Amino acid sequence: MSIEAADVVIVGAGAAGLMAAIVAAREAPGRRIVALDGARTIGAKILVAGGGRCNVTHHEVSERDYAGGSPHAIKQVLRSFGVRDTVAFFQELGVELKREGTGKLFPTTDTARTVLNALLTGLREAGGELSHPTRVRSITRSPADGPFRVEADGVTLLAHRVIMATGGMALPKSGSDGGGYAIARALGHSLREPILPALAPLVVTDPPWIRELSGVAVHASITLVSSSGKHLLTMDRDMLCTHFGLSGPGPMDVSRHWQMARVADRGAHILVSWQSGLTLDAVESMMRGSHAPALPWLREVVPERLARALLDAARVPVDASMRQLPKESRRALASLITQCPVRPSETRGFTYAEATAGGVPLDEVKLATMESRRCPGLSLCGEILDVDGRIGGFNFQWAWATGTLAGRSAARSLPPP
Ligand SMILES: Cc1cc2nc3c(=O)[nH]c(=O)nc-3n(C[C@H](O)[C@H](O)[C@H](O)COP(=O)(O)OP(=O)(O)OC[C@H]3O[C@@H](n4cnc5c(N)ncnc54)[C@H](O)[C@@H]3O)c2cc1C
As a whole number of angstroms, the distance between CA 372 and CA 415 comes to 18
Claim to verify: residue 378 and residue 324 sit in the same structural domain:
no
pLDDT band at 175 (very low <50, low <70, confident <90, very high): very high
Q: Of 199, 139, 144, which Cα lies nearest the Cα of 168?
A: 199
Q: Which domain CATH number covers 11?
A: 3.50.50.60
- Residue 340: name the closest of 276, 245, 271 by CA: 271
Decide if 49 is inside a domain. Answer: yes
Residue ID of nearest Cα to ligand 1 atom 49 = 14
Looking at the structure, tell me whether residues 369 and 407 fall in a common domain: yes
164 lines ligand 1 (CB under 6 A): no
* 161 close to 10: Cβ distance less than 8 angstroms: no
Q: Is residue 402 domain-resident?
A: yes
Compute the distance from residue 15 Cα to the ligand 1 centre, in Å.
6
pLDDT mean over 113-123: 98
222 membership: H or E segment, kind and range: strand 217-225
Q: Provide the pLDDT for residue 60.
A: 98
The reply to whether 223 and 332 lie within a common domain is yes
Q: How far is the CA of 32 from the centre of ligand 1 (A)?
A: 24
Whether 354 is in the pocket of ligand 1, judged by its Cβ within 6 Å, is: yes
Distance 168 CA to ligand 1 centre (A): 7
Q: Is residue 74 part of a domain?
A: yes
- What is the predicted pLDDT for the residue at 142? 83
Q: Which atom of ligand 1 is nearest to the CA of 381?
A: 26
Is 86 found in the same domain as 13? yes
Q: Are residues 329 and 183 in the same domain?
A: no
Same domain? 324 vs 225: yes
Does residue 366 share a domain with residue 343? no
Whether residue 398 has pLDDT greater than 80 = yes
- Determine whether the shortest distance from the Cβ of 50 to ligand 1 is under 6 A: yes
pLDDT at 1 over 80: no
Which CATH number goes with the domain that contains 266? 1.10.8
190 and 256 assigned to the same domain: no
Residue ending a domain, choose from 347, 372, 393: 347
Q: What is the tens place of the pLDDT at every residue in 313-336?
A: 999 999 999 888 999 999 999 999
Measure 314 CA to ligand 1 centroid, in angstroms.
44
In a domain, 368, yes or no: yes
Nearest in space to 253 (alpha carbons), one of 395, 155, 403? 395
Cβ–ligand 1 distance for 179 under 6 Å, the answer yes
Identify the pLDDT of residue 323.
87
Q: Which of 295, 314, 347 is the last residue of a domain?
A: 347
Mean pLDDT of 233-251: 98
Same domain, 223 and 274: yes
What domain count does the chain have? 2
What pLDDT is stored for residue 145 in this prediction? 84
Query: In which band, very low, low, confident or very high, does the pLDDT at 386 lie, cut at 50, 70 and 90?
Result: very high
Q: Which residues contact 32 (CB under 8 A, 6 or more apart)?
A: 5, 6, 7, 8, 129
42 Cα nearest atom in ligand 1 = 49
**Domain endpoint, select from 347, 363, 390:** 347
Q: 417 lies in a domain?
A: no
**Does residue 382 lie within any of the structural domains?**
yes
* Per-residue pLDDT tens digits for 62-95: 999 999 999 999 999 999 999 999 999 999 999 9
Q: Is residue 388 within 6 Å of ligand 1 at its C-beta?
A: no
Q: In which domain, by residue range, is 157 found?
A: 2-196+354-412
Residue 61 contacts by C-beta under 8 Å, 6 or more apart in sequence? 78, 82, 83, 393, 394, 397
Considering the domain architecture, whether residues 192 and 68 belong to the same structural domain is answered as: yes
State whether the Cα torsion 289-292-295-301 is positive or negative.
Answer: negative
CB 289 within 8 A of CB 306: no
> Does the structure show a pLDDT above 90 at 143?
no
Pocket lining: 56 vs ligand 1, CB cutoff 6 Å: no
pLDDT at 144: 83
pLDDT tens-digit readout, 269-286 = 999 999 998 999 999 999
Whether ligand 1 lies within 6 angstroms of the CB of 55 is answered as yes
